[in-house]
Chain A
């Protein structure tokens, strides 16, 4: 099956610094990727839709200047948390959408997640 990787799996950074999280589709091309955030013991919330070669579309309430998304190639999207603060500590998960299958429906594959801790 299709594989999506994230790097790093875990990161600790100091308040005020920026941190970049990578999401890669390893064996397929993904024109669209999605970024989610999960608070402890809570559900996943869609943050933004990342389209290759164009600007990301952010969900209501998500600060686009704080969470910078770049989708520079068909296999890589990055999420940069700028000027991170402790309240940004969370589990960030990406997913990648492949092309339409034989059923005419695309599939989404999730990465393993990145745990960000801001001290």
Chain B
């Protein structure tokens, strides 16, 4: 079965610093990997996806992620965090429907 794991429940960074939210995957075949963000009492917002091609994927709001096959990782990154980036982030793999990681709460402090 396809699955993803997010090893960190919480990530704290200072505004202006780079941020990384980690995700590792376990799939058979080629993975279709996604990142979503969720603000309180809201639905999911799509950030970016990896299907094939360039390992570095650029997405919405300045986020990017790097697909690393040897490390089976798909970490989300942003060069300079904003306070408004504070939210819940989900990594997911498509397996028919989506299989989501447990989520990582990102807090960006001023």
B-contacting residues of A (Cβ < 8 Å)?
Answer: 34, 36, 42-46, 49, 93, 95, 103, 105, 108, 110-113, 115
Contact = CB atoms under 8 A, between A and B. Distances in A.
B98 A93 contact: no
A103 B98 contact: no
A34 B98 contact: yes
Contact of B98 (A95, A111, A112): A95
B101 interface: yes
Nearest to A114: B43
Contact of B43 (A42, A105, A108, A111): A111
A108 B103 contact: no
A111 B46 CA distance: 11
Contact of B32 (A43, A105, A111): A105
Interface in B57-110: 90, 94, 96-103
A36 B42 contact: no
Contact-residue size bin, chain B (C-beta under 8 Å from the other chain) = 10 to 19
Interface in B1-49: 32, 36, 41-44, 46
Contacts of B98: 34, 36, 44, 46, 95, 108
A103 B51 CA distance: 10
26 contacts: A34-B96, A34-B97, A34-B98, A36-B98, A42-B102, A42-B103, A43-B101, A43-B103, A44-B44, A44-B98, A44-B100, A46-B97, A46-B98, A46-B99, A49-B96, A49-B97, A93-B43, A95-B97, A95-B98, A105-B32, A108-B97, A108-B98, A110-B44, A110-B46, A112-B43, A113-B42
A115 B36 CA distance: 19
Q: 4 closest A-B pairs (Cβ-Cβ)?
A: A112-B43, A34-B97, A46-B97, A113-B43
Contacts of B32: 105
B42 A112 contact: yes
Nearest to B34: A108
B102 A43 contact: yes
A108 B90 contact: no
A93 B44 contact: yes
A43 B23 CA distance: 14
